Structure 1
Amino acid sequence: MRDVQNEKDHRMVPLKKVGIKDLNWPLKVLLKNNGYQSTVAHINCSVDLHREKRGIHMSRFIEVLNKMEMITPHVFEEILDDLIVTMEAKRAHLEIHFPYFVWKESPVTRKMSPLKVDCFVEAERSKTFSFKIGVKVPVHTLCPCSKEISDHGAHNQRAFVEIQVKTKKFIWFEDLVEIAERNASSPLYTLLKRPDEKFVTERAYENPKFVEDVARDVALELERDNRIAWYRVYVESMESIHNHNAFACVEKGDFILEG
């Protein structure tokens, strides 16, 4: 059969990324407390294309991905190395997004329930191997200004903290979730009984934070973590009394710690 993709292209225009997108794929994620969790990942996968090649063989992406069962840096590096050889490319890129459930205990009644967190992994292989992970964690924020000017209560809302990191050492998704929750007005829980609701409400009231506060506090904790080489923090609040959202963003290198 004629191999049309492998024909020579005379326009001589190299392409940086050519691949497949929006592929759903079953995968396993290692748990910090042993074992693994099954999930369905959303995958984008690509390679560069030499200027003389007309196209790539899309089916080869699937053949290579068939070897991927578990999410680990080592597995990603092997997959990208395989893609470079199979596709005769100099650079390969793999990005996956997936839901991940963290089991949490309510603060007073100790009831267990799962909290959904959105996670992602992005890796690229060229002359070197680059690996980035991230989480998007739902949290609770309470407005310091509203608390200050109100005789009763303060407006509060659900928000999310998105953390992306490149690491020097292995770090668990759970570790990033804990960093996000620690620096919000309060964590969120799927299951709360009345004593838990009272605790969470009062905790947030005593710990008011703007999105700016959360972004800065998360960044400072990441800055001091010797496992992390680079980070980006994005915080967005789904405002409860405004017809818009509020957000704040900071990336490593945007500021320098003194002392």
Structure 2
Amino acid sequence: MYTEENTARLMPDVAVHAQPHLAGELDWVGMDGIEVPVRFDAGDGDVQRASARVGAFVNLRRPDKRGIHMSRLYLQVEQALSTQTLSAASLQELLRGFLDSHKDLSDRACLSIRFEHLVRRPALRSGNSGWRAYPVSIEASVVGDQFLLELGTEVVYSSTCPASAALSRQLIQEQFTKDFDATQPIDHAAVVAWLGSEKGIVATPHAQRSVARLRVRPAEGAKFDLINLIDRTEQALGTPVQTAVKREDEQAFALANGGNLMFCEDAARRIQKALEADSTLSDFHIRVEHQESLHPHDAVAYASKGVDGGYAGKGCA
């Protein structure tokens, strides 16, 4: 008679059987898209629970072994991430656990975590507020004694083209010259009325929704501080997208756009300067994308702190 114990003992495990004709080392083996809840403190002390997608990998350095123990990775991910608040220490411990459970197979491990974090943002003037969902990516790896950690997010903002603004101003000047005789005295009330008419804004500069994608490496001992990263970036740009918007907020947003004309190069440099002033970051990589309304292709610029010859980001496969 079979019992549960001896049935399990007799279950076949074909993964232990090597295939000599396919021998070879593998860079990464594991699982991607693991669904698990995570607990995250964005730097304000408010620990939020979010639904995350996780990738868990180790290398396979034994050419004579057919595979790794994927269930061991899954169980460690589920136990650690669903019960502990995310931190550099907890992630490093989890990765060390990956390697401890694969001592005979692996000497490198990496982990990727992706989720969204809600942040309440105030309106510009009305006193209202609303929620923004910021994407969060965390990538961590252990290679030998080296532990690497990276935090990523995105900031969406409006960018008004300086060249288009200059061209628009020229057309408004030309329209003014047509409508007001230079040989006649200027009537203040007539000019004010003209400025409030469609003729007074005969041309408008093109603006577009834009995205700043950030990847940063926290300094050793620094905690995750997503809120500070977002605040620094949005303040540097001046025109982050809004949540609750009344007419006074929309007017304030139009004013901010007029005072923050920028090419993608300007945006990248603004963020670069802001992040260089942050002592909690050891390195960063910036990609700004202006999703043009003038033409179908986007304007893109990259910037980094430049540590180790330029940070390009080194994460999981």
TM-score of the superposition, structure 2-length normalised? 0.76
Of 69, 74, 94, which residue of structure 2 is paired with 1:79?
Answer: 94
Structure 1 residue 124: Cα displacement: 0.2
Of 202, 210, 226, which residue of structure 2 is paired with 1:173?
Answer: 226
Is the radius of gyration larger for structure 1 or structure 2?
Answer: 2
After alignment, is 119-128 or 169-178 more displaced? 169-178
Matched, 1:8 2:59: no
Please name the residue that 1:29 is paired with: 40
CA distance in 2, matches of 1:119, 1:49: 29
Of 202, 213, 227, which residue of structure 2 is paired with 1:162?
Answer: 213
Matched, 1:49 2:60: yes
CA distance in 2, matches of 1:73, 1:241: 43
Matched, 1:131 2:149: yes
Which structure 2 residues correspond to residues 64-213 of structure 1 after superposition, within 5 A? 64-67=76-79, 68-69=81-82, 70-88=85-103, 89-127=106-144, 128-150=146-168, 151=172, 152-168=203-219, 169-213=222-266
Structure 2 alignment gaps of length 5 or more = 1-10, 173-202, 311-317
Count of matched residue positions in the alignment of Structure 1 and Structure 2: 256
CA distance in 2, matches of 1:201, 1:171: 33
After alignment, is 140-149 or 164-173 more displaced? 164-173
Mapped contact 1:166–1:231 kept (Cα < 8 A): yes
Structure 1 residue 9: Cα displacement: 4.4
After alignment, is 170-179 or 73-82 more displaced? 170-179
Indicate how the Cα distance of structure 1 residues 31 and 170 shifts in structure 2: closer, same or farther if over 3 A, else same. closer
Q: By percentage of residues, which structure has more helix?
A: 2
Mapped contact 1:45–1:93 kept (Cα < 8 A): yes
Secondary structure at 1:226 match in 2? coil
CA distance in 2, matches of 1:38, 1:102: 13
CA-based RMSD of the aligned residues comes to 1.8
CA distance in 2, matches of 1:63, 1:231: 32
After alignment, is 13-22 or 69-78 more displaced? 69-78
Match of 1:157, as an amino acid?
A: Q
Secondary structure at 1:37 match in 2? strand
Mapped contact 2:233–2:274 kept (Cα < 8 A): no
Greater relative contact order structure (CA < 8 Å, 6+ sep): 2
CA distance in 1, matches of 2:255, 2:69: 58
Q: By percentage of residues, which structure has more strand?
A: 1
Structure 1 alignment gaps of length 5 or more = none
Structure 1 residue 185: Cα displacement: 4.3
Structure 1 residue 153: Cα displacement: 2.8
User: Cα deviation per residue 1:194-215 (whole Å; 9 max; x = unaligned)?
Assistant: 1000001111111111111111
After alignment, is 63-72 or 118-127 more displaced? 63-72
TM-score of the superposition, structure 1-length normalised? 0.92
